[in-house]
Amino acid sequence: MAFPEAATPPELRAQVLALQHQAWPPTGAAASSRTLTHDPALRPRSMLLVEGGRVLAALDILSKEIVHAGWRYRAGGLSTVVTRREARGRGHGRRLVAAARQAMAAEHLDLGLFTCDRPLQGFYEGAGWQLLPGAVLIGGTRWCPFPSDQPGFDKVTMAAFFSAEAQRQQSSFQHSRIELHPGAIDRLW
Ligand SMILES: CC(C)(COP(=O)(O)OP(=O)(O)OC[C@H]1O[C@@H](n2cnc3c(N)ncnc32)[C@H](O)[C@@H]1OP(=O)(O)O)[C@@H](O)C(=O)NCCC(=O)NCCS
């Protein structure tokens, strides 16, 4: 099922929040009382794998325009990918992440870009995403950047090139620093 994050039916949204809190326990009262996870400016859309009213896995697709090497692109990214703890290891995550890739291509994004911890590279590759070798995403804002290669992080950048323009410029994304700047809420999507 897919909904704009803010239009997710409340009974499903409550389960998604519970799964997110299970994986990433909120820090501070403000974070735990927030009902929406993402910055509305990034047009968050939630995709859920639901069985008998129970959310087994969830993720959010965020999107914004970026400029890279002089070209403008509509970029999307995966965020808050999570499978219910008791349901992990059964292919639910892979299925949802592959469906998100198809959905992003269908909605005419030029490319998908996001980072993940290095051990999860194979998980995303199994769902059709490719490693962008040597690429670093610069998250945060222009004034307060949050790069994916900061000390203590061991992240890789995953990508999918959908449009003909993005496919043509694919090599410009490798071994480069990509100014994503999604803002102060989703500092690195
Ligand atoms: C990462 C996560 C979403 C995977 O969901 P899942 O439903 O268990 O994954 P799947 O069953 O579809 O696994 C598909 C493949 O990825 C591999 N994989 C899954 N989780 C992995 C992990 N944490 N590390 C390394 N490989 C993993 C599986 O072994 C499987 O490979 P196989 O087909 O060769 O056996 C889930 O472990 C989770 O919710 N983790 C906590 C939140 C998190 O870290 N999210 C990612 C943020 S970038």
pLDDT of residue 135: 98
Residue 41 binned pLDDT confidence (cut-offs 50, 70, 90): very high
> DSSP letters of the chain?
-EEEGGGS-HHHHHHHHHHHHHHS---SHHHHH-S--S-GGG--EEEEEEETTEEEEEEEEEEEEEEETTEEEEEEEEEEEEE-GGGTTSSHHHHHHHHHHHHHHHTT-SEEEEEEEGGGHHHHHTTT-EE-TT-EEEEE-SSSEEETTSTT--EEEEEEE-SHHHHHTHHHHTTSEEE----SSSS--
pLDDT of residue 27: 85
pLDDT of residue 166: 98
Residues with CB under 6 A from ligand 1: 23, 57, 81-83, 88-94, 116, 119-120, 122-123, 126
pLDDT of residue 136: 98
Using the predicted structure, report yes or no on whether residue 31 has a pLDDT greater than 90. no
Determine the Cα–Cα distance for residues 178 and 164; give it in Å rounded to an integer: 19
Nearest ligand 1 atom to alpha carbon 116: 48
| Average pLDDT of span 24-46 | 88
Per-residue pLDDT tens over the stretch 68-127 = 999 999 999 999 999 999 999 999 999 999 999 999 999 999 999 999 999 999 999 999
Residue nearest to atom 29 of ligand 1 (CA): 89
Nearest ligand 1 atom to alpha carbon 82: 39
| Average pLDDT of span 3-25 | 97
Nearest ligand 1 atom to alpha carbon 95: 12
pLDDT of residue 25: 93
* Residue 57: Cβ-neighbour burial (10 angstroms; 0-12, 13-18, 19+): buried
| Token representation of residue 133 | 């070798």
pLDDT of residue 28: 79
Residue 131 binned pLDDT confidence (cut-offs 50, 70, 90): very high
Measured in angstroms, how far is the CA atom of residue 176 from the centroid of ligand 1? 27
10-19, 31-40, 102-111: segment of lowest average pLDDT: 31-40
Measured in angstroms, how far is the CA atom of residue 122 from the centroid of ligand 1? 9
Average pLDDT, the chain: 96
Per-residue pLDDT tens over the stretch 170-185 = 999 999 999 999 999 9
Using the predicted structure, report yes or no on whether residue 144 has a pLDDT greater than 90. yes
| Token representation of residue 152 | 């203590």
Q: How far is CA 110 from the centre of its chain?
A: 15
